[in-house]
Structure 1
Amino acid sequence: MSQYEMGFTTSIVQADRIAGVPHGGVHQAIHTSTQFGFEKVEDLIGVFQGAVKGSFNYARQGTPTTAALESKITQLERGCGTVCFSTGMGAVAAVFLTLLKAGDHLVSSRYVFGNTNSLLGTLRDLGIEVTLVEPTSQAAVAFALRPNTRMVFVETIANPGTQIPDLPAIGELCRDAGVLYVVDNTVTSPALFTPRNVGASLVINSLSKTLGGHGAALGGSVTDTGIFDWSRYPNIFNSYRRGDSTYWGLQQIRKKGLRDMGASLSSQQAHQIAIGMETLALRVQRSSATAMELARYLREHPGVAAVHYPGLEEHPQFETARQWFGACSWLLSFDLRDVGTMTSVLNALKIPIKATGLGDTRTLIIPVAPTIFWEAGAETRRDMRIADGMIRVSVGLEDATDLLEDFEQALTKVGAISNPKRNTSC
């Protein structure tokens, strides 16, 4: 049985053994060398000139350990290749800065991760035009397209508002327009969604979150799905227009994003992430189920004004989530009815850790407006529908009953009435 015939988790946990590892090891070795030698200087020259493939010369562009991780991610995202980075933002920045240039136009979802939103401001300063759109509407995206539009960027589930783009419709639009379609799959991960199925050209994952899953290693990745025709993309440098055009884009991302910009993933971090990935499906199933229970509980609580979770029937993109996602993941947000009680509620909680970050085994919680979106300003928060009383929760692997009881005691402690109609069915 080949790796491509195996089930999702089997393919992850058996990947190293199938690929072959020295000395019969169960896992790939951690390669700490920064330089790699060659028997013949002709081979070293060939690597630099692109004539020799599959060899390593300097760890900034990759090691056997990072290559093994890239292979696993490529398999999960059903792509033709992957480049790993030291952080998720390193991956996002590499896509923008290596494939766009001054005078180009980028169309982006208005509901993007706070640091990505900040990066979009940097792109504008570099002469790249950026238009923020309502991604739940194909018409809004279509209206924003221009002759110089090179890329459309969306996230599968927005952080923190949980808006979901019209993923397949945008894919059709980008295909017809010949525009790069870049999908950040971090929240859903390949365990719940395959962006290739909706026509994504490139798929980004923050490996620090769902894939790594234990809050123990930073990393990011860009996967090429093999759908986009790079021979028609004007921003590929002449030196990379050699051989099979399928790999031109990814080669440019690796050369410019790793070799020139240096956002390189270490072998130690790559190994940690690869081990974390082995429990990916199990973790996502458990945290999604618990998040669903918590969302249903909070929806009925008198102290809560709104709950944002795609698994709830009243969520605006509930049907999209049900059709395309295997579950609705660990991310939910809710708005307190009385903003003045926010700090008291958070301080009364005993299980969730008051911290930034997402996709951990432990439940993490944070007030959104005064922290991760404070720098964005009130106007941006209003455009992104981030209320002053919004609280983001990254649901972990704790027992659902313990979490629900903790939220109830915290909400009750600050003056809200305990809710007798609590629904804990999944």
Structure 2
Amino acid sequence: MKNKGFTTRLVHADRVINKPQNGAVHQATNNSVLFAFDNAQDLVDVFQGKAAGHVYSRSSSASSVSLQNILCELEEGIGAVTFSTGMAAISATLLSLLRAGDHIIMSQFLFGNTSSLASTLQGLGIQISYVDVTDVQNVAAVMTPVTKLVYAETIANPATQVADLSAIGQLCEENKMLFIVDNTMTPANIFSPKSVKASLTIASLTKYVSGHGNVLGGVVIDTGLFDWRVFENILPMYRSADTQQWGLTQIKKRGLRDMGATLSPEAAHSISIGLETLALRVERICQNALRLASYLHGHEHVRHVYYPGLASHPQHYIARELFAGYGGIVSIDLVEKIDPLAFLNELNLVLCATHLGDTRTLGLPVAQTIYFENTAAQRAEMGINDNMLRFSVGIEDVDDIVADFEQAFAALQ
């Protein structure tokens, strides 16, 4: 189905790739924790990785593998590993691949929980340089002989800075460094990290991929572009067989098996169902977000709008080159005379909630919630003002979304 359209491939992916039994169009959910073998040698071969199969559901199951196969196909990768949450995928990947004394470069605009994890890594002896990733020169300036990787998000949450992904990918390739791209904000139908030479793609499946606010999940996908033979942190026991699989094997063994953040079979099945409508939902979300951002841009009660789809956005031209849509996050700074919390309380259609990528439009005050643990100085470095509101635009009729904002502004006049 390589020559078919994105949604056509998605709708038929489970049936075509995983070939469920009895003519089913979805892989059945398998809740077994253990897997029995008639021949003891078969168990040994699967356990040692000499044959395909499952030995214990913490490490793998038919349900998780089916979802991994679909996600890997969409990203044109060579393998994928799913986790119970997006943060589990990030934690497992970094903790599996890094050692004390390593140096890594990360975006200074990191999502709050990723930033918190980074501080934990520093406590374990990993050196981190935080830079403005909208310009590759900032990345190049802090490289050292022990720099192992660069970690960047495509569109930052909540101030929507867009990383200079193509240039960073080129820099990493030239210097034999891993390039890890968090693609949560720009799923596969609007952006392919492989196109910018990403080594690994990480995403929270909780957000746009599953899309309905009813399941948690995360994934890491190997694009096949990185030569793991030059990555000295791969342990000897995993330096065998297919060299392209060394990285994912270590992540599976050290990050999934040992740390145990396993995606449940029920969650894997739910995510695969939501995944089928990914393109339809994200296209509608991007259209709605651009319309809402355009309405808010220049509004008398709005001091600033953060959205890459606006020509006024500092990285608009980077986003235009990279993405087939500008995402669903629209953030705003209200004028000082309007209290941001009072404005949220006046919205009727928009839900006040700490989530994004949902079918419903959601809003929250940024500094007081998801970045509450950061200092004022840290928030300023990330481009977050104390009165910033973040909106994750949904798939509702856009006129209804805009009308809700209009009535909220009128109520506070």
Q: Quote the residue 2:343 is aligned against.
A: 345
Secondary structure class of the residue paired with 1:135: coil
What amino acid is the match of 1:48?
F
User: CA RMSD for the aligned pairs?
Assistant: 0.9
Secondary structure class of the residue paired with 1:82: strand
Q: Does 1:374 align with 2:366?
A: no
Cα deviation code 1:251-292 (max 9, x no counterpart): 110111111000100010000000000000000010110000
Q: Is the 8 A contact 2:301 2:338 kept in 1?
A: no
Q: Does 1:410 align with 2:404?
A: no
Deviates more, 1:377-386 or 1:41-50: 41-50
Secondary structure class of the residue paired with 1:83: strand
Q: Does 1:97 align with 2:67?
A: no
What amino acid is the match of 1:164?
V
Q: Quote the residue 1:127 is aligned against.
A: 125
- Which of 2, 7, 13 lines up with 1:4 in the alignment? 2
Q: Quote the residue 1:27 is aligned against.
A: 26
Q: Is the 8 A contact 1:188 1:329 kept in 2?
A: yes
Cα deviation code 1:215-273 (max 9, x no counterpart): 11100000000000001110001110111100000011011111100010001000000
Q: Using structure 2 for the length normalisation, give the TM-score.
A: 0.99
The 2-side partners of 1:134 and 1:329 are apart by 20
Q: Quote the residue 2:250 is aligned against.
A: 252
- Which of 215, 235, 238 lines up with 1:237 in the alignment? 235
> Between Structure 1 and Structure 2, how many residues are aligned?
412
Q: Quote the residue 1:48 is aligned against.
A: 47
Deviation, structure 1 residue 336:
0.8
Return closer, same or farther for 1:387/1:334 CA change in 2, 3 Å cut-off.
Answer: same
Q: Does 1:67 align with 2:65?
A: yes
Deviation, structure 1 residue 339:
6.5
Deviation, structure 1 residue 6:
2.1
What amino acid is the match of 1:79?
G
Deviation, structure 1 residue 296:
0.6
Q: Quote the residue 1:424 is aligned against.
A: none
Q: Quote the residue 2:212 is aligned against.
A: 214
Secondary structure class of the residue paired with 2:409: helix
Q: Using structure 1 for the length normalisation, give the TM-score.
A: 0.96
Q: Is the 8 A contact 1:118 1:376 kept in 2?
A: no
The 2-side partners of 1:374 and 1:67 are apart by 37
Secondary structure class of the residue paired with 2:207: helix
The 1-side partners of 2:365 and 2:78 are apart by 39
- Which of 278, 281, 297 lines up with 1:280 in the alignment? 278
Deviation, structure 1 residue 48:
2.0
Secondary structure class of the residue paired with 1:50: coil
* 1:356-395 paired onto structure 2 within 5 Å: 356-395=354-393
Deviation, structure 1 residue 108:
0.3
Q: Quote the residue 1:179 is aligned against.
A: 177
Q: Quote the residue 1:422 is aligned against.
A: none
What amino acid is the match of 2:111?
F
Q: Quote the residue 2:331 is aligned against.
A: 333
The 2-side partners of 1:49 and 1:342 are apart by 57
- Which of 164, 173, 176 lines up with 2:162 in the alignment? 164
For structure 1, the residue ranges without an aligned partner over 5 or more in a row are 416-426
Return closer, same or farther for 1:199/1:339 CA change in 2, 3 Å cut-off.
Answer: farther
What amino acid is the match of 1:118?
S
Q: Is the 8 A contact 1:362 1:398 kept in 2?
A: yes
The 2-side partners of 1:6 and 1:226 are apart by 23
Deviation, structure 1 residue 340:
5.2
Identity, % of aligned pairs? 48
Secondary structure class of the residue paired with 1:14: helix
The 2-side partners of 1:357 and 1:174 are apart by 32
Secondary structure class of the residue paired with 2:201: strand
